[in-house]
């Protein structure tokens, strides 16, 4: 695992069926763009989160392709419709092959 | 002569009040913070204090209103982990003695302060604990570890008014800091007051000059996407004036920190603030 | 190779002349290429895709943007002045109600942020926002 990479998500705990809820997600990741050079003039290779996926009870909510122009600590805010009680599954894919995940439950009445 | 030159240059380079600080309300997580207040009596040339928040663009201001959106919180999270992490020969973590970090409420508002005849900043207190009680190595003044923990501790005082002691045994340090504040330095021959007292509210090239308050430190700066310590910011300012900066953690910056903290008396602690 | 000033000026003049002739293939921007790739050359309209970005970015490394395109299947965002124009592509799933998303992006200089939406009916929408990116002042 790349060091210090930690996901955080903000999902409401409760909602009514069919509600549109707002979700915020963040992952602490440097997002090394591949444009910077080190002290000796060598290019620091690109190393970024290149994909973010949010699913709910197995159905996709959003699937984002990230490029180096996404800021350090990639942040996304988006909406989701929640038809029933269930669990959000958030996944981030790193250039180096690591995969970071977190889940959040929501109770729908 | 120097002053006349600066005024002349100001007239040309600095825009007018079109860019003065705004009157937005600082509402963090639904709580209204004091971000502007009457200046304390010891400040002869300033009537009203404005938090640095007021001088930033709307988008930057918005980042501080919500703890999820606040990019500094990622580092406070790291601070929480460090607070609980065992480190050093005594097998302790900060938490071993300080069971609840919330007990630090109020500390940020009083620092720096005099203890046993010495002026101490929060970084000193952290390192004293580490070296004397945890048997751990001192952290560098502006390291990611240190700013994460001072960010966490500062957060516990968020919303509380800055209120440092400047009399009694603090007086000589405060006077020294005040003198530094008004002393011109560097190739550009400028003092802190030239920008932050005489010219706050106007643009210096593309930057909106603030009063140079420190109530929001350690601050998340967009410039380097991380938390920055007070002394590190002082160092940057001095470098900009092409002066040789004083040492982080040294007596000059600590005295200056005390004086500048007193110039923010009454402003709410905003740690971790979001600035440029 | 030593270029005399005359040679350099002559070279400069000829390349400007070429541009004037509209040899757009040689001078097509990378952003244009990326747009063409996303739309496969199809026609692009405006009005149904909203792109929100600040007029002046306080700092180019964290510029908040929002795209909003009801009825879109996906939205791709480009920055025409960045070393690489692609910024992100948002693919909306079944449970995505509003077809909108916010994020923070890096802009290396003043430029246009361009959003292209692929709609459910296969058509394309575009929106552009010019963002001024400043450097300077006493950033310390």
Predicted confidence (pLDDT) per residue in B131-169, tens digit = 999 999 999 999 999 999 999 999 999 999 999 999 999
**pLDDT over threshold 90, residue B212:** yes
Cross-chain Cβ contact C101/A62 below 8 Å: yes
Rounded Cα distance, C140 and C132, in Å: 21
Rounded Cα distance, B219 and B203, in Å: 21
A53–B contact, CB cutoff 8 A: no
Rounded Cα distance, C130 and B70, in Å: 25
Q: Which helix (H) or strand (E) holds B254?
A: helix B251-262
Interface test with C, best of A69, A76, A82 (most C CBs within 10 A): A69
Please state the pTM of the whole predicted model.
Answer: 0.87
The confidence score (pLDDT) of residue B14 equals 41
**Residues A33, A68 contacting (CB under 8 angstroms):** yes
C139–B contact, CB cutoff 8 A: yes
Cross-chain Cβ contact C103/A80 below 8 Å: no
Quote the Cα angle for A57-A58-A64, to 5°: 110
Residue of B nearest to C62 (CA): B222
Both structure tokens of B162: 């800055």
At B84 the three-state DSSP class reads helix
Does B237 participate in catalysis according to the annotation? yes
The confidence score (pLDDT) of residue B13 equals 41
The confidence score (pLDDT) of residue B10 equals 43
Rounded Cα distance, B72 and B220, in Å: 5
Phi, psi of C61 (to 5 degrees): -90, -10
The confidence score (pLDDT) of residue C30 equals 86
Rounded Cα distance, B196 and B137, in Å: 36
Q: Per-residue pLDDT tens for A13-66? A: 999 998 999 999 999 999 999 999 999 999 999 999 999 999 999 999 999 999
- DSSP letter string, C17-85: HHHHTT-HHHH--HHHHHHHHHHTT--EEESS-EEE--SEES-TT-EEEEEE-TTEEEEEEEETTSSS-
* Confidence at B206, pLDDT banded by 50, 70, 90: confident
Of B13-17, B52-56, C112-116, give the lowest mean pLDDT range. Answer: B13-17
Q: Tell me the CA end-to-end span of chain A in Å, nearest whole number.
A: 38
CA B77 to chain A, closest CA, distance in angstroms equals: 9
Rounded Cα distance, B80 and B101, in Å: 9
Percent of residues, chain B, with pLDDT higher than 90:
87
Cross-chain Cβ contact A69/C101 below 8 Å: no
Mean residue pLDDT of chain A comes to 94
C89–A contact, CB cutoff 8 A: yes
**Residues A74, C103 contacting (CB under 8 angstroms):** yes
At B99 the three-state DSSP class reads coil
* Confidence at A2, pLDDT banded by 50, 70, 90: low
Mean residue pLDDT of chain B comes to 92
Cross-chain Cβ contact B74/A71 below 8 Å: no
Percent of residues, chain B, with pLDDT higher than 70:
93
Q: Per-residue pLDDT tens for C80-128? A: 999 999 999 999 999 998 999 999 999 999 999 999 999 999 999 999 9
Rounded Cα distance, C102 and C123, in Å: 23
Neighbours of chain C (3+ CB pairs under 8 A): A, B
B271 closest CA partner among B23, B81, B105: B105
The confidence score (pLDDT) of residue C139 equals 60
Cross-chain Cβ contact C100/A79 below 8 Å: yes
Residues in chain C within 8 Å Cβ distance of B193: none
Query: Based on the number of CB atoms within 10 Å of its own CB, is B70 exposed (0-12), middle (13-18) or buried (19 or more)?
Result: buried
Of A82-96, C5-19, C32-46, give the lowest mean pLDDT range. Answer: C5-19
Residues in chain A within 8 Å Cβ distance of B69: 24, 75
A65–C contact, CB cutoff 8 A: yes
The confidence score (pLDDT) of residue C115 equals 97
- C74: which residues sit within 8 A by CB, 6+ positions away? C89, C90, C91, C92, C117, C118
């Amino acid at each position: 695992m790349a060091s210090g990479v930690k996901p955080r998500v903000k999902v409401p705990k409760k909602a009514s069926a069919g509600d549109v809820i707002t979700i915020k997600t963040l992952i602490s990741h440097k997002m090394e763009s591949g444009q910077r050079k080190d002290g000796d003039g060598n290019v620091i290779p690109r190393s970024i989160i290149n994909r973010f996926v949010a699913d709910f009870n197995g159905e996709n909510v959003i699937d984002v392709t990230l490029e180096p122009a996404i800021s350090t600590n990639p942040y996304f805010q988006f909406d989701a419709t929640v038809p029933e009680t269930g669990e959000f599954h958030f996944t981030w894919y790193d250039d180096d092959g690591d995969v970071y995940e977190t889940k959040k439950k929501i109770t729908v009445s | 002569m120097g002053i006349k030159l600066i005024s002349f240059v100001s007239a040309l380079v600095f825009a007018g009040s079109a860019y003065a600080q705004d009157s937005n309300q600082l509402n963090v997580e639904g709580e209204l913070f004091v971000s502007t207040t009457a200046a304390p009596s010891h400040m002869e040339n300033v009537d009203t204090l404005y938090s640095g928040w007021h001088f930033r663009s709307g988008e930057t201001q918005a980042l501080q209103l919500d703890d999820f959106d606040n990019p500094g919180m990622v580092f406070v999270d790291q601070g929480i982990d460090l607070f609980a992490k065992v480190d050093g020969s005594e097998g302790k973590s900060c938490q071993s003695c300080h069971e609840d970090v919330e007990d630090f409420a109020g500390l940020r508002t009083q620092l720096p302060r005099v203890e046993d005849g010495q002026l101490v900043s929060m970084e000193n207190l952290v390192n004293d604990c580490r070296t004397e009680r945890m048997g751990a190595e001192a952290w560098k003044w502006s390291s990611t570890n240190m700013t994460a923990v001072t960010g966490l501790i500062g957060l516990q005082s968020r919303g509380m008014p800055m209120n440092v002691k400047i009399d009694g045994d603090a007086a000589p340090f405060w006077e020294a800091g005040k003198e530094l504040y008004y002393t011109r330095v560097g190739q550009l021959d400028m003092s802190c007051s030239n920008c932050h007292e005489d010219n706050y509210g106007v643009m210096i090239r593309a930057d909106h000059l603030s009063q140079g308050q420190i109530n929001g430190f350690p601050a998340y700066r967009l410039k380097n996407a991380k938390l920055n310590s007070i002394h590190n910011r002082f160092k940057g300012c001095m470098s900009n004036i092409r002066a040789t900066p004083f040492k982080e953690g040294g007596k000059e910056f600590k005295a200056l920190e005390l004086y500048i903290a007193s110039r923010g008396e009454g402003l709410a602690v905003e740690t971790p603030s979001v600035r440029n | 190779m030593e270029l005399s000033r005359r040679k350099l000026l002559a070279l400069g003049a000829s390349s400007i002349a070429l541009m004037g002739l509209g040899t757009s293939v040689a001078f097509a921007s990378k952003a244009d290429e990326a747009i063409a790739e996303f739309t496969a050359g199809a026609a692009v309209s405006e009005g149904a895709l909203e792109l929100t970005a600040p007029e002046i970015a306080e700092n180019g490394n964290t510029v908040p943007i929002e795209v909003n395109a009801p009825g879109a299947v996906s939205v791709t965002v480009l920055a025409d002045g960045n070393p690489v124009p692609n910024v992100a592509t948002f693919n909306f799933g079944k449970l995505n109600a509003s077809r909108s998303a916010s994020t923070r992006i890096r802009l290396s200089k003043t430029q246009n942020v361009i959003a292209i939406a692929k709609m459910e009916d296969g058509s394309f929408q575009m929106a552009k926002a010019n963002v001024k990116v400043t450097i300077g002042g006493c950033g310390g």
